[in-house]
Amino acid sequence: GVGGLASQRRDESASLLGRAIAGESVEAVVLLGDLNGVVEDRGLRPLTSQLSFAESGFAFSFPAAFPVARIDQVMARSATVGHIRTLPATGSDHLPVVARVALE
């Protein structure tokens, strides 16, 4: 719904997803998607505390018309997320993101 810059629902979703990942019995986990937050955002700590993410590469993906934020993320457990970048626009309001992921 319309919420402007409200983050409560995003934070609740990150918390639920963090619990699901913590309970996942499979060692290697890759999470990717529009998380509506940058990795430095404290609301994503339930995820960033468990998963690694690319430190390099701008990959600003939102909004597609003039990307200024990296809110589409690629994170992993028991894998290394390497270089991350965006691809050309597709008509979405986000640019597609591509990353190199190496299983450990």
Q: What is the pLDDT of residue 19?
A: 98
When divided into structural domains, the chain yields a total of: 1
Indicate the SS3 state at residue 102.
strand
- The pLDDT assigned to 7 comes to 84
Q: Is residue 95 part of a domain?
A: yes
Q: pLDDT at position 6, please?
A: 73
Give the CATH number of the domain where residue 15 resides. 3.60.10.10
Is 76 part of a structural domain of the chain? yes
Specify the pTM.
0.88
Angle in degrees, CA 29, 78, 37, rounded to 5: 55
Q: What DSSP element (H or E) covers 19?
A: helix 8-22
The pLDDT of residue 2 is 53
Residue 2 lies in a domain: no
The residue segments making up the domain with residue 16 are 8-103
* Cα–Cα dist 6/81, whole Å: 29
Q: What is the mean pLDDT of each run of 10 residues along the chain (104 residues)?
A: 70 96 97 93 96 87 95 96 94 95 92
Domain-located, residue 13 = yes
Amino acid at 50: Q
**Residue 69 within any structural domain of the chain:** yes
